[in-house]
Structure 1
Amino acid sequence: MADPQIPRGETRLPIYPEPPAPAEFGIDLRLGWNRGDAAIAADVKAFWEQFNFLPRGVDPDHRVKEVVLAGYAGNRLVAVSTAAIEQVGFLRCKMAVYRCAIAPDFRGQMMSMLVTAHSLKALEAWSRAHPDEGVMGMLAVLENETYKKKTHPHRAPETKLSLVAFNPQGQKIVVAWFDHARV
């Protein structure tokens, strides 16, 4: 893997308005959103199984249809992002509800922020091209224990993600509104 620009343990990555190129982090991001790519689907399902990433009861054949990006280091899948289009009651609009999984040996290198930034761009471009879908932004629940600390800003200036609520488990719910969003 190439040495990333951001040192291990660094908490800031300037991703907005333009995220760094994935190659700077030694990965290739492949678009899976609405593509039905059988090779990506097979790799993603094997990745989820290898690391036991899917919660009990989640159908991998259904979830794999939600793949936004697949991140490869050479031929090895090391990152996957997914999104489900859902009506979000408290925001009164449809959002792309986002998830990201990173291989354990690629964590701590800002990989999730990189994949998230590029996923946001891909989802926003899709939303702009499909206005009839009415998707206004991307929502994520920050499940990583790191984000439970109160040391993270409510809106990091280098991203579009803003804190909007907490779920019953105390996890932060963040939203990035698409530039064309109207609510």
Structure 2
Amino acid sequence: MKILTIIFCSLLWAFAPALAENRLQDQITDITSDKMTYTGHDNIVIFSGNVHVIRAELELWSDQLHVHIKPQNAEQDEADQQDKIEKIIARGNVRIKSMNREGKGELLTYNPDTGQATLEGNPVLMEDKNRVEGEIVLINMLENTSEVLGGPDRRVRVIFYSESEQQE
């Protein structure tokens, strides 16, 4: 049971270092898409069509990416772009990858202030051959905690391999 807990936790926290590291400033974010729309009234930048984000060791793909920007106040430093983001929502065929770790789902919501990420829509987290799936995956990058929730249509499932099976 102890090995299962270790593997389970390592899978859930697999993306935490990459996403938490991305809170650091002075990193380049490269976003490509078929279209970008900014709606100043709603403070949202929408990237749509074949969205691909590269930041440090993290890559994200989705059909759409909505970046919700906080309303600007007088005390906010113009150079501090990371603090301007209220939340990020990736929709449709969401895939996130960091080194040998990968996550998939239909909806990813991330709040930089709280460090809370939610992956929904048949979410699956994988590291090498190991995988965790459920109905909703909740990860708090700031507190290094995670939770996988099952539901009426999908229970929590963990598949893990021993080290010798990983190398095959």
Q: Same fold (TM over 0.5)?
A: no
More helix, by proportion: 1
- Please say which structure displays the higher CA radius of gyration: 2
Larger RCO, structures 1/2 (Cα 8 Å, 6+ apart): 1
Name the structure where strand makes up a greater proportion of residues: 2
